[in-house]
Amino acid sequence: MPKEFYLTPSSRRHLERHFGDGALAGSYFMKSTFETPDDLLLFLQKTSSVTVIKQPPSTIVFTYTLTNGRMAGTVGIMQKRSLSEKDLVHEIREGFTIEVGLVDQLELTADFCVVASETSKGLSIITAFPGNYARPFAQKGQPAKEYALNKQFWAEHVLLRKKS
């Protein structure tokens, strides 16, 4: 029997940022598709993922694509080289300085990812976001190879926010 997804109180608080009004940089779920994290959780319990990506040591990424013209939300990441220097700013996010790209419009996508940790209770959701797979931010404690890959990815990509 497949393991079920679940949210801890802290992961719920983190995930709720992807259901907000778009004040923070990054991607957002459309309220017409998933109004709350619980709506997303219900969808996950009855839908198979398109792909499964294992990230050492114990993280699993599940990718999904909505059908019938439904959009999951907005894309919140882009290759840095696609933006001009004047559209790049720095922000503090969870104690880290990140680069953010400012764009006129956030693109809609049918794709989304769910990042989870496998536990004895099931699949504990760490985060979920509309768009294609993106590597985690590089952090101390990650295996050396993963840290290097993550650092390289975020040297080439930025989170996006709509210009105000």
Q: Is the peptide bond before 130 cis (omega within 30 degrees of 0)?
A: no
Q: What angle do CA 71, 77, 82 make, to 5 degrees?
A: 115
Summarised one tens digit per residue, pLDDT across range 65-99 is 999 999 999 999 999 999 999 999 998 877 778 88
Tell me the C-alpha distance between 49 and 99, whole Å.
30
Tell me the C-alpha distance between 56 and 150, whole Å.
12
Residue whose pair of structure tokens reads 């019938």 in the numeric block = 68
The pTM is what? 0.87
Q: What angle do CA 152, 51, 9 make, to 5 degrees?
A: 80
Summarised one tens digit per residue, pLDDT across range 13-40 is 888 888 876 566 678 999 999 999 999 9
- Mean pLDDT across 133-159: 89
The structural domains of the chain, with segments of one domain joined by +, span 5-162
Name the band, by pLDDT with cuts 50, 70 and 90, for residue 1. Answer: very low
